[in-house]
Structure 1
Amino acid sequence: MTATPRIGRKTGRPPSLTRDDVARAALEEGVATLSMPSVARRLGVGHSTLYHYVHDRDDLVLAALDLAMREFDWPPADIGWRELLTAFADTLWRFLQQHPGMGEVIQSAPGRPSTIPELATAYLARLRAEGLTDRDAATALDVIADLTISTDLAIRGMSHALATPRGRRSLQDVYQDAWARLTEHTTDHGRGWLDSKLALLFDGIASRLGEPGTTAPQTPPPIPDSSTVPDRATIVDASREIARRDGLDAVTVRAVANELGSTTAALRREIGDRDGLVVAMLDAVADEITVPQRQAEPRAELIALALAVHDVLNTDPWAVPALAVDGLASPSILPVLDRVFAAFRAANVPSRDVASATRVVWEHIYGAVLGTRGAGRGTFSARIVESADTPSVTEIAREPVSGRDRARLGIEIVIDGLLSRLGRVS
């Protein structure tokens, strides 16, 4: 009896693959969205077959990045330092444009492509031959790569679409006025501020090399006398001034020491590390809250307390990221929190919901503080409202309302909603 041949995929050993074949399929699939099953389907093999060539998805991404870099035309190293660094930035930019999503891959890749050490070694050797120190040469390459990748991520982020009264629009469309101002002074609008940032970096390198037309860096100032030990209040005041002027990220123990003409060692003995410094700053902010008199009615008590916190944070907006992002807090705020908890309980909010309700109020205050900085029409949120096609909404958005009045209205709406939703008894 003759066996009937089976219809379907042929049995036997599949055609030979290589790691580069798998990596090329991943590039064709798109590094931003690839998966092991999607690459296997593109190659016409079973999912498990890929594990003969890559360990997992991370290894697959690394193989794709390695192949893409090996096959890209990178600039030679035998040119002047400015030409080399410019060509490196331009080539990296073209590389990222050719492979959308590669910026994120480079930032999170679990290993290092084989091309990177070869390129870095050649470029660093050339930069040293051009007169840069080892540290300056390495820093220049690192900064240029970071600037180029972060700019690519930012530009693509502005293309993200969101729902608006006019339909789905990108952030660039919604915020088109500010986007126009951002790009009006650049040579290539598709690259944002990248070229301007690179020009500043190159001028700084030229200055360090003492090239004609530049000013050589001055001798660093002498190390401050370690006997200069400011007290805690002086340290906190200086830190808050830096934060108000330059933002929370600018506040470091060294920056405050330089501001006060002291040393980091002296400040650390008094204040501890940076987290200790920021907590001390938050203590000072909390101490400045004008705590209102107790209100018999829970709603009025909650509104008065929330507005008091808003007012003090509006003077020190740097405190918002310290609280909301860094997760730091001041013990001095506890009496205010106790009154907020008590007011929610007095409004018959279940105990299990009091903490969540308080967090909602706090998060609204954070947003209100950030939203009122710049007062009104210049803010991003105001521009979104004004982008609506409804004339009445646009007119309301343009009405002159003080930041505090707007904050109070928002606080009242949030608290009314919480009390209504969580079962407040009138």
Structure 2
Amino acid sequence: MPTDGAEKSTAQAGQILELLWRHVLPAKPGTRGPKPGLTVDAVVAAGIALADRDGIAALTVRAVAAELGVRAMSIYTYVPSKEALLALMVDAVAAEDAPVQADLPIRDRMIAVATGVRTELLTHPWLLEVSPWRQVLGPARMRRYESQLRALDGAGLSDLAMDRAIAVLTDFATGNARLAVAAAGAAELLSDADWWAVHGPLLARIVPAGEFPLAGRVGAAAGEHHQAPADPDGAFAYGVATLVDGILADR
């Protein structure tokens, strides 16, 4: 017999799913009447705009209400909780992803899958703070998964291998995007050149020169090439190409 907690969780999950799929579900009986001043879409758009500008830490129902110029309690008419709002926001930004071009070679289609994930995260960095585990699938994320599968279809991979390939490409793109977002945030405070002008001489004076010969040689070559501590864009291009080649070679 389900517990009160399980029943509550089921009810909450049902609410979120109905909101996510609201545009394809039939209208409930008795919902006709005057059109409300706000819509779920407007609340979600305000949440995305707030998170894009101020980060997810600033995302509260009260802050979204202020964005829309309404009282906080009125938001709950459209979205029952912050958890539901986040699920709706995650799905809404997934709708921005362009489908992978079907006429590209398979290798380019697979690279495009990872590039799409990375672009979404760089456009909306707050997504990096949302747990990817047990995210409820909405229509936009489901369409994107379908598009990603179509990009891999015909490559000679099994169904399980296609799913795993998408997961691996997504994980790599996410990790690289996290580094790129950190680099962009640091550059707003101090340029890489200025940072190295401070830390380079200190490291040269403190670190024993003969103890790390490989690290010193390779690090110096990389630093001179990148003119920065790392190169997220270059690492992504190299890494995703290597990943895709490995996946295709394992067919």
The alignment's TM-score, normalised by the length of structure 1, stands at 0.39
Q: What's 2:241 paired with?
A: 412
Q: CA deviation at 1:404?
A: 4.9
Q: CA deviation at 1:315?
A: 0.9
After TM superposition, the structure 1 = structure 2 runs for residues 139-218 of structure 1, keeping only pairs within 5 Å, are: none
Contact 1:289 1:312 in 2 (8 A): yes
Describe the superposition over 1:355-402 as per-residue Cα deviations: whole angstroms up to 9, x where unpaired. 2221111111211221111546948xx99xx99422323323427998
CA distance in 1, matches of 2:184, 2:223: 13
Q: What's 1:111 paired with?
A: none
1:302 aligned to 2:110? yes
Q: What's 1:324 paired with?
A: 132
1:392 aligned to 2:221? yes
1:263 aligned to 2:71? yes
Which has the higher mean CA deviation after the structures are superposed, 253-262 or 310-319? Answer: 253-262
Contact 1:313 1:319 in 2 (8 A): yes
1:237 aligned to 2:45? yes
1:368 aligned to 2:197? no
* Code of the aligned partner of 2:227: R
RCO comparison, higher one (Cα < 8 Å, 6+): 2
CA distance in 2, matches of 1:229, 1:393: 56
Q: 1:353 aligns with which of 137, 141, 161?
A: 161
CA distance in 2, matches of 1:403, 1:230: 41
Q: CA deviation at 1:293?
A: 2.0
Change (3 A) 1:255 1:403: same
CA distance in 2, matches of 1:331, 1:247: 25
Q: What's 2:208 paired with?
A: none
3-state secondary structure, aligned to 1:234:
helix
1:288 aligned to 2:104? no
Contact 2:65 2:71 in 1 (8 A): yes
Q: CA deviation at 1:284?
A: 2.3
Contact 1:229 1:262 in 2 (8 A): no
Contact 1:229 1:267 in 2 (8 A): no
CA distance in 1, matches of 2:222, 2:185: 14
Which protein is bigger by CA-based radius of gyration?
1
The alignment's TM-score, normalised by the length of structure 2, stands at 0.62
3-state secondary structure, aligned to 2:48:
helix
Q: What's 2:22 paired with?
A: none
Describe the superposition over 1:241-297 as per-residue Cα deviations: whole angstroms up to 9, x where unpaired. 221233223322232123323233321221232222112212321121132421342
Contact 2:47 2:59 in 1 (8 A): yes
CA distance in 1, matches of 2:153, 2:93: 27
* Code of the aligned partner of 1:332: A
Q: CA deviation at 1:339?
A: 3.1
Q: CA deviation at 1:337?
A: 1.5
Q: 1:249 aligns with which of 38, 57, 60?
A: 57
3-state secondary structure, aligned to 2:97:
coil
